[in-house]
DNA sequence: GTCTATAGCCAGATAGAC
DNA sequence: GTCTATCTGGCTATAGAC
């Protein structure tokens, strides 16, 4: 059997372990997840896991980092739209991503383990909230250049916008609570976008709003 | 020995257990916290803990509920101030509370365990974010009545305001990351308040902003 | 690299005396 | 109610054959 085939087999098992570990960690949490469960789900023996990863922490780190890499592509904005359309599109895409069960599970895991694994917390922030914020800031700069929005400090504005997007909807979903009547992604996005437009409308006469 | 003394002794031990458990859970997380550690810290035996609480889950629930009760008093607003002063005062108090290490630790604990303990998550939400939101909505209604702010939907406005307050500062602190230069509570509050005032300034001529 | 089997440990929960 | 001592189970990690 050629070496490449052996390597491919081994890499395939490694991937299977990573996938299984991801599922188990996300479902059960770090401490409650057992290496037995991961092995069973991956269809390998526990010893095989320890051949690929030094210990549970190492496996956990690999899982989180892999997920962070995957979410890096937050996509370009597309054609030139007006301020409302741009903010709405980006806002909805961000909020939909944030509310996905997997995203929430990773968020729970990383925040819970952050005090014990600060390096992992940093990697998560940079690949998640960090890049998201940078994307939004870039979009705001673009809107500012085109005279569609009064943009002084794009980073702070990105903070304000993402903060408004999350607001209560994110918290309730994170906690697994039922959403109250009349609470939807579209409405949350619309409220945030409206507020941004009202607060940062460009001043045609040069007067401050 | 009179009954009341025995009861008092027992209640004192119960409180000691709750305090110790709170510290251990907040420091180590739910799963990593051991009943031995709680017993040692409380100065009692493990058996005594099980005389007061049926199991670890029960103890955990009691700890979280006790903390929730304590934070219920979010205090009245005080004298009648203008919109900026009121928003700034309330905003700073809320953000300072949110960024306290203990508050963050409880947040990490509850969100991590929410999928497994939905009832606890609900209790946390109602005594924490829920009452905070209600307080702020009430304050907004007051500002609206006094003609200092254009308040249509106070609950949604409360969402937007608290969302902007948290924004990046909360996330970074939650993850234990160092704060970037020029990032402070005062600045975060000022940015959120400015945005609120710009977006929801009362319209003297009755025209919509 | 991969398996089976197991070492070694630690934590949650209990028994029984007082 | 409170203690000491212990049971029991599951977990991480490894040894050794292939």
CATH code where residue B59 lies:
1.10.10.60
A9: pLDDT confidence band, cut at 50, 70 and 90? confident
Strand D within 7 A of B46 CB? yes
Strand D within 7 A of A52 CB? no
B153 in a domain, yes or no?
Answer: yes
Same domain, B80 and B152: yes
* Chosen from A175, A194, A208 to mutate, greatest number of chain B CBs within 10 A: A175
Q: How many domains does chain B have?
A: 2
A180: pLDDT confidence band, cut at 50, 70 and 90? confident
Q: What mean pLDDT do residues A2-22 have?
A: 85
User: Is A167's CB within 8 Å of B162's CB?
Assistant: yes
Identify the closest residue of chain B to A162 by CA–CA distance.
B167
Q: Among residues B21, B46, B64, which one ends one of the domains?
A: B64
CB-based contacts with strand C under 7 Å?
A: A 6, 9-10, 13-14, 43-48, 51-52; B 33-36, 46-47, 50, 55-57
Same domain, A77 and A176: yes
Same domain, A85 and A12: no
Contacts of residue B109 in chain A, CB cutoff 8 Å?
112
* DSSP letter, residue A79: S
Identify the closest residue of chain A to B183 by CA–CA distance.
A156
In this complex, the residue with its CA at the shortest distance from the C1' of nucleotide C15 is B47
For each of chain B's 209 residues, which pLDDT tens digit applies?
555 666 787 889 999 999 999 999 999 999 999 999 999 999 999 999 999 999 999 999 999 999 988 876 666 667 889 999 999 999 999 999 999 999 999 999 999 999 999 999 999 999 999 999 999 999 999 999 999 999 999 999 999 999 999 999 999 999 999 998 878 999 999 999 999 999 999 987 554 43
| Residue B17, min C-alpha distance to chain A (Å) | 23
Same domain, A58 and A76: no
Same domain, A60 and A79: no
Which CA distances in Å does A190 have to A89, A161, B172, B204?
Answer: 10, 11, 26, 25
pLDDT for position B80? 86
pLDDT for position A84? 98
A209: pLDDT confidence band, cut at 50, 70 and 90? very low
pLDDT for position B209? 39
Q: Among residues B41, B64, B87, which one ends one of the domains?
A: B64
pLDDT for position B182? 78
What are the pLDDT digits (tens) for B15-64?
Answer: 999 999 999 999 999 999 999 999 999 999 999 999 999 999 999 999 99
B57 in a domain, yes or no?
Answer: yes
A185: pLDDT confidence band, cut at 50, 70 and 90? very high
Q: Is the per-residue pLDDT at A207 higher than 80?
A: no
Same domain, A95 and A149: yes
pLDDT for position A51? 97
Same domain, A38 and A83: no
Spatial separation of the C-alpha atoms in residues A167 and B197, rounded to whole Å: 18
Q: What is the 3-state secondary structure (H, E, C) of B45-101?
A: CHHHHHHHCCCHHHHHHHHHHHHHHHCCCCCCCCCCCCHHHHHHHHHHHHHHHHHCH
pLDDT for position B75? 63
User: Is B163's CB within 8 Å of A164's CB?
Assistant: yes
A38 in a domain, yes or no?
Answer: yes
What are the pLDDT digits (tens) for A33-78?
Answer: 999 999 999 999 999 999 999 999 999 999 999 998 887 666 666 7
B205 in a domain, yes or no?
Answer: no
Q: Among residues B23, B40, B64, which one ends one of the domains?
A: B64
Average pLDDT, chain A: 92
Q: What mean pLDDT do residues A156-163 have?
A: 98
Same domain, B41 and B76: no
A205 in a domain, yes or no?
Answer: no
Do the beta carbons of residue A112 and residue B111 sit within 8 Å? yes
Identify the closest residue of chain A to B153 by CA–CA distance.
A191
Same domain, B59 and B105: no
B123 in a domain, yes or no?
Answer: yes
Same domain, A26 and A116: no
Strand D within 7 A of A50 CB? yes
- Boundaries of domain holding B27: 3-64
CA A109, C1' C4: Å apart?
A: 33
Q: What H or E segment, with its residue span, contains residue B11?
A: helix B3-28
pLDDT for position B207? 45
Identify the closest residue of chain B to A27 by CA–CA distance.
B115
What is the nearest nucleotide to A57, using C1' and CA? D12
CATH code where residue B145 lies:
1.10.357.10
Residues contacting residue B59 through CB under 8 Å, at least 6 positions apart: B17, B21, B35, B38, B49, B53
Any idea which of A126-130, A201-205, B69-73, B84-88 has the lowest mean pLDDT? B69-73
């Amino acid at each position: 059997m050629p070496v490449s085939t052996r390597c491919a087999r081994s890499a395939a098992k490694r991937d299977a372990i990573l996938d299984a570990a991801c599922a188990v960690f996300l479902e059960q949490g770090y401490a409650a997840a057992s290496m037995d469960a991961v092995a069973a789900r991956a269809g390998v023996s526990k010893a095989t896991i320890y051949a690929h990863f030094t210990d549970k922490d190492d496996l956990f780190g690999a899982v989180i980092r892999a997920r962070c890499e995957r979410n890096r592509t937050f996509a370009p904005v597309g054609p030139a739209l007006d301020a409302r359309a741009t903010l709405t599109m980006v806002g909805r895409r961000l909020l939909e991503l944030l509310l996905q069960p997997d995203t929430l599970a990773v968020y729970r895991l990383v925040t819970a383990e952050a005090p014990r694994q600060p390096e992992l917390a940093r990697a998560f922030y940079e690949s998640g909230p960090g890049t998201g914020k940078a994307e939004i800031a870039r979009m705001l700069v673009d809107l500012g250049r085109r005279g569609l929005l009064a943009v002084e400090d794009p980073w702070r504005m990105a903070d304000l916008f993402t903060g408004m997007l999350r607001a209560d909807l994110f918290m309730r979903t994170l906690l697994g609570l039922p959403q109250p009547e009349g609470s939807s992604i579209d409405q949350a996005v619309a409220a945030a976008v409206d507020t941004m437009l009202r607060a940062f409308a460009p001043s045609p006469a040069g007067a401050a709003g």
